[in-house]
Structure 1
Amino acid sequence: MSQSYYVFRSGRLRRRQNTLYIEWEDQNGQVDRQPIPIENVRDLYLFAEVDLNTKLLSFLAQNGVVVHFFNYYGFYAGSFYPRESNVSGHLLVCQVEHYLDGEKRLALAREFVGGAMFHIRRNLNTYRDAGRRVEEALAVVEEGLERVGSVKSIAELMGEEGRVRDAYYKAFNDILNLAEPFEKRVRRPPDNPLNALLSFGNSLLYAATLSEIYVTQLNPTVSYLHEPGQRRFSLALDLSEVFKPLIVDRLIFRLLNCKEIENEDFEALGEARGVILKDSARRKFVRRFEEVMQTTVKHRRLKREVSYRQLLRLEAYKLVRHLVEMEPYSAFRAWW
């Protein structure tokens, strides 16, 4: 069964026959290597300085392996997205048609935002039941859910989503035991530990979603909620929006409330360069993230166990069925 590999050790990726090798120098200057059968690799996440060449990239492309690159600070840098072998001109035409048609685009965007708000409300309800004072944020979310269906434009929808998320982020002060109040979401660069965790977790989810889109016939650059643009796979932003509160936010709540990650796990890079997780904290976060992605639930429709990672792929296939007019798209909403 294929799986994701996260590389934190600097070294080199090589191909030898039909096996992928990760090589590095030990403390004595001797070269150690770890073989990874290529058929076991779904995708690669590179967090260290890793050398590779075009021969290796060609090998990965032949086997449909997506590679995600993160820079020295742990920020997502980009992905190597192999040439798609599973392509459909008809689906691409349908994707573009749904983008160009304002009503069709808005209908999809409403579902992405509605699914995200549903999971935000679910998180808040969990902590309200645990005695946390999140009623004010819940009221804003309920209003947002009511208004999503009546917005007239993408801009209005994004404004409604922003209002809900602002209230949600303020509620983090009641959900978490923070040393300093969390005031607002800051991305580039993150200005405090919580923003650093959100940015890192969201980038992992974005990359995982992109890997699942690759398996389908969808074009990752044609999106509906987020404006398609250069240098990004914006459809992965659309689909991951639904799962951020369910996967990333819940993981962060657990890590901080259980003190698995604490203030000493972060490093300040100066006023303009923000705050990042130390390497050891990134490893810890990735380990827990992968545990979540491998967690399974009984799918109500398929009547079998599926992992959170498989839910991402199923969401992409639901979008495919909508685009070819087989079945209207309804964003994923957790039922457990």
Structure 2
Amino acid sequence: MSLLYLTQQGAKLQKNQNRLVLTLPESASIHIPVQEVEQVMVFGNVQLTTQALTTLLLRQVPVMFLSQTGSYRGHLWRDRHDHRAQAAQFARLRDPAFQLALAREIVVGKAWNSKQLLLKLNRRRNLATVDTAIARIDREIETVNHLDPSPDSLPDIIPNILEQLRGYEGAIAAHYFPAFGQLILPPEFTLTERNRRPPRDPVNAMLSFGYTLLCNNVLSLLILEGLNPYLGNLHRSDRNEAQLAFDLMEEWRSPIVDVLVIALLNQQIFKLHYFSPPQPNGGIYLNEQGRRRFLQAFERRIMTPVHHPDAREPVPYRRAIQLQIRRYKRSLLENIPYETFRRVT
């Protein structure tokens, strides 16, 4: 099974019998067996015929729509509800103890994986500033782990507690990204802070694009498992966004995207000519050549085998994400505490 990335502007996806036919400007058509497609990502000005969309809907293949630069626009899928699990999702929104435990585990799991990546990358460099960042992340993790308000007061203060946790998440990121930037070897690529909407330098452009791809993978797997992707735990707001996808992607940012970005840079696979000049909004983005190279590398990364506690043998990262989503379902239905995926050095 594979993801179909449609990036070439002016392309058209049609259906012919049991195949999808991708027509590219000034190129031969590409025939794709429908049964081999598990998700479609559409970037920018790409047409999908009604027949192609109907086929994808009937086969419950999610279609994600993004701008040409990779900003999320929306998605299309056929409803696939697990009514028991979704009922539990709504019930858990009124369970402050569950919300706190889940949100805290998300923050700690993300921080742990970020710290482990810094430890691995700094073995040879041995930078004191990176060691300092690691120590600060450890202190933040300890603080979050000891955040344990009285059960009686929890129903009244849960919004403030969740806001505190998001604050700790931000503090950890403020330690992590400058240290991550110091471990990038090519001098033409620098990272001093995380910025987005728009990304204002090439490294942030790569991170933003990678996180968008990761989020859409998590979103499609949530749909596959019949969960409501809008009911988050750590990320909760009145905006109509896939808050649960934001929650469950956190633990994968470092092992999948950050590892990929720093490998592409330090192995000098990516050069400055893969990026657009600064746009009127100040943003810098991957250009078409850069997006294609990044998509190829991302797909290789997310299909890299990894050990997961719920599998006997190594499984691709994409499968590991699905196993984590199933852990989340068990936490909803069976009151089993959710445990994030923890990277080992």
Q: Which TM-score band (shorter chain)?
A: over 0.9
Query: In the alignment, is residue 77 of structure 1 matched against residue 73 of structure 2?
Result: yes
> Which residues of structure 1 form unaligned runs of 5+?
none
Query: In the alignment, is residue 104 of structure 1 matched against residue 113 of structure 2?
Result: no
Query: In the alignment, is residue 50 of structure 1 matched against residue 46 of structure 2?
Result: yes
- Greater Cα offset, 92-101 or 299-308: 299-308
- 1:271/1:51 CA distance change after superposition, 3 Å: closer
TM-score of the two chains, using structure 1 as the length reference: 0.92
Q: CA deviation at 1:119?
A: 0.5
Match of 2:302 among 293, 318, 324: 293
CA deviations 1:269-305 (Å, max 9, x no partner) are 3352410111111111111111111111344442123
Q: Aligned partners of 1:73, 1:175: CA distance in 2, in Å?
A: 26
* Structure 1 contact 221–229 (Cα < 8 Å) conserved: no
Secondary structure of 1:214's partner?
Answer: helix
Q: Aligned partners of 2:108, 2:330: CA distance in 1, in Å?
A: 19
Q: Aligned partners of 2:337, 2:275: CA distance in 1, in Å?
A: 44
Secondary structure of 1:261's partner?
Answer: coil
Partner of residue 15, structure 1: 15
Partner of residue 124, structure 2: 130
- 1:20/1:45 CA distance change after superposition, 3 Å: same
1:239 partner letter: L
Query: In the alignment, is residue 170 of structure 1 matched against residue 178 of structure 2?
Result: yes
Partner of residue 334, structure 2: 325
Q: Aligned partners of 1:250, 1:298: CA distance in 2, in Å?
A: 16
- Greater Cα offset, 148-157 or 297-306: 297-306
- 1:105/1:16 CA distance change after superposition, 3 Å: same
Q: CA deviation at 1:171?
A: 0.5
* Structure 1 contact 221–228 (Cα < 8 Å) conserved: no
* Structure 1 contact 132–175 (Cα < 8 Å) conserved: no
Partner of residue 241, structure 2: 232
CA deviations 1:16-75 (Å, max 9, x no partner) are 222211113317xxxx32111111001012224211233322211100111122212232
CA deviations 1:198-253 (Å, max 9, x no partner) are 11010010011111112102111111011144442111111111100111001111
Partner of residue 4, structure 1: 3
- Greater Cα offset, 89-98 or 50-59: 50-59
Secondary structure of 1:69's partner?
Answer: strand
- 1:25/1:284 CA distance change after superposition, 3 Å: closer
Secondary structure of 1:179's partner?
Answer: coil
User: How many residues in Structure 1 have an aligned counterpart in Structure 2?
Assistant: 329
TM-score of the two chains, using structure 2 as the length reference: 0.90
Q: Aligned partners of 1:117, 1:179: CA distance in 2, in Å?
A: 28
1:136 partner letter: T
Query: In the alignment, is residue 306 of structure 1 matched against residue 305 of structure 2?
Result: no
Query: In the alignment, is residue 192 of structure 1 matched against residue 201 of structure 2?
Result: yes
Secondary structure of 2:29's partner?
Answer: strand
Partner of residue 259, structure 2: 250
Partner of residue 88, structure 2: 94
Match of 1:34 among 30, 33, 37: 30
State the identity %.
30
Match of 1:161 among 141, 164, 169: 169
Q: Aligned partners of 1:181, 1:132: CA distance in 2, in Å?
A: 18
> Which residues of structure 2 form unaligned runs of 5+?
150-160
Secondary structure of 2:298's partner?
Answer: helix
Q: CA deviation at 1:326?
A: 5.3
Q: How does 1:249-268 map to 2 (within 5 A)?
A: 249-268=258-277
2:3 partner letter: S
Match of 1:139 among 132, 135, 140: 135
Query: In the alignment, is residue 210 of structure 1 matched against residue 219 of structure 2?
Result: yes
Q: Aligned partners of 1:154, 1:285: CA distance in 2, in Å?
A: 34
Q: Aligned partners of 2:106, 2:4: CA distance in 1, in Å?
A: 29
Q: CA deviation at 1:77?
A: 2.1
Partner of residue 144, structure 2: 148
Query: In the alignment, is residue 283 of structure 1 matched against residue 292 of structure 2?
Result: yes
